Every structure is written in C-alpha cells, then in structure tokens.
Structure 1
Amino acid sequence: MEPSRASSRARRRRVPSLYLALAAVTVVGGTAAGTVYVQERDAPLASVSSSSSPVVVAASEEASVEPVTLPTVDPEERLAEAMESVRVADGARVSVAVLDVGSGASAAYGEASFVTASIVKVDVLAALLLRAQDEGRALTSAEKAYATAMIERSDNDSASALWETVGRAEGLAAANERLGLTDTEGGDGMLWGLTRTTAADQLRLLGQAFGAESELSAASRAYLQGLMGKVVEDQRWGVSTVADGSACALKNGWLPRSTTGLWVINSVGRVTVDGREFLVAALSDGNATKEDGVALVEAAAKAAVSVFARE
C-alpha cells in the first residue's frame, strides 16, 4: 500500500535541520569540549553563512556516533587456553595463579589443595614478622639468622625453629587470617612441610609480601623481599626462569612423598618480564621425578605470565 502524502511530508519534517546544514559543510577541526568546526562547501544552503569564515555548529546527540565496545576476553579463559599446551604426565597435577601488578588483573587455573613443602617458609616468615610488629620490636639476631638460612638456603632446621616460635599450625592460622589466606592449613605438630594450600592462596600471600596494601609493614615487606631475592643459585628454578635475567624474588619447595615416591614441586615469587612485574604461584604433585616437576611448574608459570605479557 502506498503511504499517504501527509505521512510522507511528516517524515520529511522530522529530519533534523542540523543534518541539512551539515550536508553542505566540511568538518575542519574540533575542541575537547565537543564543539565541531565546519566550513562551507560550494552552493551553501540558506541556513549556512556564505562567508569564507568557519562557522560553528554545536554537536548534538542526533549527529553523534555510538562508541563501539570491543569484546573482552576473560583472563581465566586465556589462562585455561594457555595451559592446554602444558604437558601434564599421567597421575600428576598442576595449578597456577598469576597477578599482573601493573593492571591489578589476575587469573588462576585449578582450585585443588597441595602440600606446600618448603614454600610454607615464606608464610612462616610473614607470621614471624607480624608477631614482631605486634610486639613493637625488630627481629632478634637469632631470628634473623634463622630467617636468612630458611629463605636463602631453604634450611629445614631453621624453619623448624621459627615454626615453633610462631606457634606452629595454630600460630600460622592466626597470621593467615590477618593476611587474607582462606585455604591454607598448617601441618600437624612439627610437620610444617605438610601444610596444605592453593595457588590462589599463595598469590594472596605474595600480594601481602610485595603489595603496598598489606598487613606487613613497609620494613617487614622489604626484609622478606630482600631474602627472597637472594636465594642460592642452585635453587633459582621454577618461576625464576620466566624472569628477565636475575630480576626475580622466589621460594621453591620440593618433597618426595614417602608413601608414593612421587614428587611435590612448587614455586612462588615475583618476576619481571619486559619491564612488567608479575606475581606467580605454581604448585604441582604426582611427579615421577624432581626434574619432571620442575619442568611442569616452569611451563605453568610461563603460560600464566603469557596471558598478560602478550597484551
């Protein structure tokens, strides 16, 4: 059916006069406030000045262009895709979590709980530093000696001494409540190496150790970071292999389980890649050999950092 002449005229009247004016002008500039500067073309309409001076037409909603929103990709989806290329042997498990310090974006792969082995030593030192802060004192010379050996050389006797000082599992739990760790449970008695944790919880601990918003004071954070930056050379594997040169601070853990002979291999720390800082926690178990586990956590750490480093 043909539309009536009246309705056609009505539609023509609804065309904004601004469109007719802009049809005869050329955009030549603009301002931050949104004003558009235009200049006449040949044969201007009556509504546009015929002088050679630029005229100003205020931009309106009718003349605006809607911004295009590009689809975003979930970092955890990216990480899951990146982990597809990581070879995990039959019977082994791996979990990894990463934080891009600059943007604050993070991602985690896997939610399982793992035995900590020696990475718990970072948590023990954090608990010790909190205790000293509460008591308004610096670490004693003996505590400093134990802390240095425990972190830099992964000395187990020193870890046992400080585990006792912080109150074993109960004391660690009290510290972790303040530090925001929700899925870490201390080992029974003196078995600090059998503490259980998740990659996400270890990322939270790293955030407390390296972030500005922390229960740990600036002096405590600097002390802990300094020790993690001086780990002996033969223990600088794991997340450190992702970093540029020696730009990393880390703590590794390794433990053959007596019941199975399979290895727990873990690595946590801060790395710098192309000038960008990342916090990474990679946990694994069920590894046939120590070397297999080291290769697994290194591959997981590399995959995790690639999620953000490629942006």
Structure 2
Amino acid sequence: MADRSLSRVVCTSAKAGLADRLTKDIRAAVADTGAKSHTSVALYDRTTGTQCTYDADRQYDSASVVKTIVLGTLLRQAQDENRELTSTQRALATKMITKSDNDATTALWKQLGLGRIKAFLRLAGMKHTAPDEKGYWGLTQVNATDQLTLMKLFTSNNAVLNKHSRAIALDLMSRVISSQRWGVSAGAPSGATVHLKNGWLQRTSSGWRVHSVGAFTGEGHDYGLAVLTADHGSMPTSVKAIESIARKVHADLNGGSTHSHSVARSQNVPTTSDGSLVPVHGQ
C-alpha cells in the first residue's frame, strides 16, 4: 500500500481534533479498498468549518453523476430566460434524478446542447469537468473537487443558481428511489435530509466506475461528500468501499453516534451497469 500515498488525505477544521480524526479514519478506509483500485474523496462541512480531500483531482468517467450537471444547466437556463421549467422539462428532470433515467437524460442533453452545458460548467467554476466530445454523456470526465463544488452551489446562496433553482435541485435529489439510495448516504444522521446522486458504469477494461455524491441538510446539518471510485472488481465491492468511507465521515462529523441510515446497502445494489454510456448525436 506504500504507493497509495495516503499522506494525500488533507483535512482542516475549525473544530479541535476533528481534522486529525477525519484524516486518520479516511486513510484507514481508503487503505482497505485494494491496491489496484482508485478512490477519491472530497468533503465540506460548513457547521464546523471543515474540509477534506483525498486524491480529489483524479479524473473519472462520470457515469450517472453527470446528471446533476445536466440538472444544474437546465435550472440555469430557466433562470436566464426568466421562467419556470416547462412541464416536460420538470418531468424529464424528475425521471433523470430520482430514477436515473437515461432516456430522460439524453433528451435534456440534446435540448440543452453541448455549448450550454460547457457554459454552465465555466459559470459554476467546475474547471476540470469535461463532456465527452463524441457525445457519450456518461464519459464526461469529472473529479471529486468539481462534484463537491456543485453540491456547494446547490446548498448555499450564490450567483449561479438562485434560491428557487436550488430548492428544485435539492428536492429532486432527496427523492431518489430506495434501490438507488446507497453510497454516501450510509451512516447519515437520522435527522438530516439526504440529497443524493449515484453513478455506476462497467467498462470492458479496468472494471467499474462507481460514484456517490450527496449533501446533508436540516436540523443543524450542512455538509457535502463526494466519493468517486474506479477499478474495483465488482459493483458490490465498489459500494462497500464508498459506504465504509461515508460511515466514518458521518460518525466523525456527528460525534461518533450510530444513525438510522447506517444499514449497509452493498448487498442490494444493481449488479449491471447504469447504461450511461449513451451517445448523443447532433449535440
């Protein structure tokens, strides 16, 4: 494990002892994920002034976590045009986020166009996120840093997304269907509202890309967590790795107590790819 460079876990916090605890626990969880796999972590907690990263700039195929970017672009378009989402857009966005529907995503991607999506990424400051130029939206290149940037935009006052847009995004991410509520939700405080999006893509070479991104709000909670993985041997193994990290993070941020969201999901997750390797022509 020497080549895993666990010293790259960097945490800072305004709360005494928290950064050291998170650093130790994230290192331990990552060390258990396997020498040939890749894992990236990014965390913020506004309540305690905490930030953590581990290999957060590594690039990954996005799989379905790109759908939060599509949602952000759609909401920004409606803002720019001073209107609500149309009923069709609202229905497609709901399917895209709550059920990870690929046809809905393709329809919105084509409607928005690659130029508008890139413009949103620039506006959002997601400098290292790059859509696939051949039109495969599931191969958008993402990293944990930029994924967490988007969670911050969804959960705080900013010039990119207004209060109404943010409320729509968080509402949809809080209504993800039960079979997809694994990942960074594991171990979350029972009183928190979990806003979640996952992605899981199997490539013909190098194994799985499995990611989980979320924000946790309500009852004094205000934090976000992104865990991106690649090259694990199976979908359940990937989810287990993500959930191990998530449980440690939630426990450290919330006094080490056990919470109702801590039940393992890794035995009930899909075993087939999310189908996000879909080409969009004429984008």
Q: Assess same fold via TM > 0.5.
A: yes
Deviation, 1:214, is: 4.4
- Partner of residue 26 from structure 2, selected from 80, 83, 89: 83
2:135 aligned with 1:186 = no
The runs of 5 or more residues in structure 2 that have no matched partner are 1-14, 257-283
2:76 aligned with 1:133 = no
Matched with 1:290 is 235
Matched with 1:202 is 147
Matched with 1:4 is none
**Inter-partner Cα distance in structure 2 for 1:299 and 1:202:** 19
Moved over 4 A (4+): 71-74, 272-275
Please say if residues 187 and 251 of structure 2, whose CA atoms lie closer than 8 Å, have aligned partners that are also in contact.
no
**Inter-partner Cα distance in structure 1 for 2:27 and 2:218:** 22
**Inter-partner Cα distance in structure 1 for 2:171 and 2:211:** 20
Taking structure 1 as reference, are residues 96 and 175 closer, same or farther at Cα in structure 2, changes over 3 Å only?
Answer: same
Please say if residues 206 and 269 of structure 1, whose CA atoms lie closer than 8 Å, have aligned partners that are also in contact.
yes
What is the 5 A alignment of 1:67-106?
75=19, 78-86=21-29, 87-106=32-51
Deviation, 1:213, is: 2.5
Aligned-residue RMSD, C-alpha: 2.2
**Counterpart of 1:143 in 2: which secondary structure?**
helix
2:167 aligned with 1:229 = no
**Counterpart of 1:187 in 2: which secondary structure?**
coil
Please say if residues 254 and 266 of structure 1, whose CA atoms lie closer than 8 Å, have aligned partners that are also in contact.
yes
- Partner of residue 278 from structure 1, selected from 181, 198, 223: 223
Indicate the percent of aligned positions where both proteins have the same amino acid: 34
- Partner of residue 148 from structure 1, selected from 94, 98, 120: 94
Please say if residues 96 and 301 of structure 1, whose CA atoms lie closer than 8 Å, have aligned partners that are also in contact.
no
Counterpart residue type for residue 27 of structure 2? E
Deviation, 1:291, is: 0.2
Query: TM-score with structure 1 length normalisation?
Result: 0.71
Higher relative contact order (CA 8 A, sep 6+): 2
What is the 5 A alignment of 1:236-247?
236-245=181-190, 247=193
2:110 aligned with 1:164 = yes
**Inter-partner Cα distance in structure 2 for 1:143 and 1:273:** 28
Of structures 1 and 2, the larger Rg is shown by 1
**Inter-partner Cα distance in structure 2 for 1:252 and 1:199:** 13
- The superposition leaves residues 258-306 of structure 1 with CA deviations (integer Å, 9 ceiling, x where unpaired) of 234x111100111259853321111001011000010111112233344
Aligned length: 238
**Inter-partner Cα distance in structure 1 for 2:91 and 2:197:** 17
**Inter-partner Cα distance in structure 1 for 2:18 and 2:188:** 24
Counterpart residue type for residue 97 of structure 2? I
2:120 aligned with 1:175 = yes
Matched with 2:273 is none
- Greater shift, 265-274 or 177-186, is seen at 265-274
Counterpart residue type for residue 258 of structure 1? T
**Counterpart of 2:35 in 1: which secondary structure?**
coil
Taking structure 1 as reference, are residues 238 and 306 closer, same or farther at Cα in structure 2, changes over 3 Å only?
Answer: same
Query: TM-score with structure 2 length normalisation?
Result: 0.78
Taking structure 1 as reference, are residues 228 and 160 closer, same or farther at Cα in structure 2, changes over 3 Å only?
Answer: same
2:60 aligned with 1:117 = no
